[in-house]
Amino acid sequence: MRIVRCDVTVSLDGRMAASGQRLENPMGEGGMRTMAWHGSELDTSPFTGTPNPTGAFVMGRNMFGPDRGEWDLYWRGWWGDEPPYHAPVYVLSHYKREPLPMKGGTTFHFVTDGIQAALEQARKTADAGDVQIAGGASTVRQYLRAGLLEELVLHVAPVTVGGGERPLDGIGALDFNPVDVASGPAVTRLKYRPRR
Amino acid sequence: MRIVRCDVTVSLDGRMAASGQRLENPMGEGGMRTMAWHGSELDTSPFTGTPNPTGAFVMGRNMFGPDRGEWDLYWRGWWGDEPPYHAPVYVLSHYKREPLPMKGGTTFHFVTDGIQAALEQARKTADAGDVQIAGGASTVRQYLRAGLLEELVLHVAPVTVGGGERPLDGIGALDFNPVDVASGPAVTRLKYRPRR
């Protein structure tokens, strides 16, 4: 089975990152506190492997980097030479840019014709794998609103951060089916399927 | 053991009630969708009994009723002649009012000297039972900020409501220990202890 899935970490106050994000501090002030669970018993992120691997990712431009407007071609993402995706990553943007192959199987593709188009391209290359909407908050929100997300996994960190964007803000009244829940001392994982 | 506990229902977007609350619709537009789980397998609210019963409640004035300023003495709460508390309820207010005994063991006491004073009075009358901070969002927030809450139980309904107050907003950066988690098709229950 291949599904369109979003697996994000949020704080207990629903934020994917704290406010005050900048180049030296991409998660915002105190935002790294939400990531303390990585490496814990519930670390089933795509980076450590899942039963059905992620074949392709979609992310918003702000998740790819801090620059805006025309591309700064020296910027190659937050993750260094070998990003942790090991698959094609479709980056939503208003500005065209040539594909950017990185070490370890990650290639960033820049998509300028919207979230539907990005998802279609991701589906095609994902083959038997899942497509993952990687973030940030605004991108998750857009796919939820468009009814394009099939599974929403929230890793809820046991901290509040007090500011920052929330992926579940601005989506109005939606209904979900709880599918699964798991918890450890560092994080609680909630899995939902949006109802049609 | 006697603890100061808060057990509230929130939507997946963290709201205790939707926006548009008014006399005919105290939960706001679509807010009743968060309450669909009542009567389900996870209905362990104080109203159906817990291992350690609630000996006294504290609530904000807005949870007691819609009027503001000087008391309308005809208003006796949202719940009819026999409210579901069956214990003393301390209502935070800026306006004095005589205690209001109701059927079934509920008596509303109106406390005008702040959240600490209300909690002390609740502790005294709770005896061996827990004290429960019943809501609304602003009252929960005040007790969290003051470090007076010992256990936070969130019944997370699998719906977003799109507007309304969030109890975990405006409390800054706080850390919690996850204590317990349980889930059914209608609701997910998360239990936390604030870290000192």
Q: Is the peptide bond before A39 cis (omega within 30 degrees of 0)?
A: no
> Nearest residue of A to residue B182 by CA position?
A181
On whether residue A148 sits in a domain, the answer given is yes
DSSP A172: -
**Stated pTM of the model:** 0.89
**Is A168 in contact with B33 (Cβ distance < 8 A)?**
no
pLDDT greater than 70 at residue B49: no
On whether residue A76 sits in a domain, the answer given is no
Q: Pull the structure tokens for residue A148.
A: 């394009």
**Count of CB pairs separated by less than 8 Å, A with B:** 93
On whether residue A72 sits in a domain, the answer given is no
Which residues in chain A touch residue B181, judged by CB atoms under 8 angstroms apart?
Answer: 181-183, 188
Q: What is the full per-residue pLDDT of chain A (196 aa) written as tens digits? A: 589 999 999 999 999 876 777 777 777 777 788 877 777 766 654 444 455 689 999 999 999 998 889 999 999 999 999 999 999 999 999 999 999 999 999 999 999 999 999 999 999 999 889 999 999 999 999 999 999 999 999 999 999 999 899 999 999 999 999 998 988 888 999 999 999 7
On whether residue B144 sits in a domain, the answer given is yes
Q: Residues A91-119: pLDDT tens digits?
A: 999 999 999 999 999 999 999 999 999 99
Cα separation, B157 vs B95, in Å, equals: 34
> Nearest residue of A to residue B171 by CA position?
A162
CATH number at residue B57: 3.40.430.10
**Is B176 in contact with A190 (Cβ distance < 8 A)?**
no
Chain A, window 167-186: residues with a beta carbon less than 8 angstroms from a chain B beta carbon: 168-178, 180-185
Domain ranges, residue B104: 4-14+31-65+81-194
Contact B144, A160 (CB under 8 A): no
Q: Pull the structure tokens for residue A187.
A: 């994080």
Q: Residues B107-128: pLDDT tens digits?
A: 999 999 999 999 999 999 998 8
Residue A185 confidence (pLDDT): 84
Which of A172, A187, A192 faces B158 most closely, judged by CB atoms? Answer: A192
**Is B12 in contact with A176 (Cβ distance < 8 A)?**
yes
* Count of other CB atoms within 10 angstroms of residue B146: 12
Cα separation, B34 vs B32, in Å, equals: 5
Chain B, window 17-56: residues with a beta carbon less than 8 angstroms from a chain A beta carbon: 30, 33
Q: CA dihedral in degrees (B50, B56, B58, B64; nearest 10)? A: 90
pLDDT greater than 80 at residue B86: yes
pLDDT greater than 80 at residue B36: no
**Is B171 in contact with A183 (Cβ distance < 8 A)?**
no
Q: A162 and chain B: CB distance < 8 Å anywhere?
A: yes
Which of A30, A159, A174 faces B160 most closely, judged by CB atoms? Answer: A174
Which residues in chain A touch residue B16, judged by CB atoms under 8 angstroms apart?
Answer: none
Residue A128 confidence (pLDDT): 86
> Nearest residue of B to residue A183 by CA position?
B181
Contact A93, A112 (CB under 8 A): yes
**Is A161 in contact with B173 (Cβ distance < 8 A)?**
yes
Which of A159, A168, A171 faces B175 most closely, judged by CB atoms? Answer: A159
Give A124's contacts (C-beta < 8 A, 6+ positions apart).
none
On whether residue A71 sits in a domain, the answer given is no
Q: Pull the structure tokens for residue A145.
A: 């609103």
In one-letter notation, the amino acid at residue B80 is: G
pLDDT greater than 80 at residue B145: yes
Task: Tell me which of B42, B156, B160, B175 to substitute to probe the interface with A (most A C-beta atoms closer than 10 Å).
Answer: B160
Average pLDDT over residues B148-170: 94
On whether residue B76 sits in a domain, the answer given is no
**Is B183 in contact with A178 (Cβ distance < 8 A)?**
yes
Q: Which residue has the tokens 């002030």?
A: A29
> Nearest residue of B to residue A166 by CA position?
B13
Residue A184 confidence (pLDDT): 84
> Nearest residue of B to residue A168 by CA position?
B13
Runs of H (alpha helix) within chain A: 61-64, 114-126, 137-145
State the smallest CA–CA distance between residue A173 and chain B in angstroms: 4
On whether residue B22 sits in a domain, the answer given is no
Q: What region, left, alpha or beta, does residue A117 occupy, with left being phi > 0 and alpha being psi -120 to 50 degrees?
A: alpha
Residue B27 confidence (pLDDT): 76
Average pLDDT over residues B1-21: 86
Contact A2, A150 (CB under 8 A): no
In chain B, the number of structural domains is: 1
On whether residue B71 sits in a domain, the answer given is no
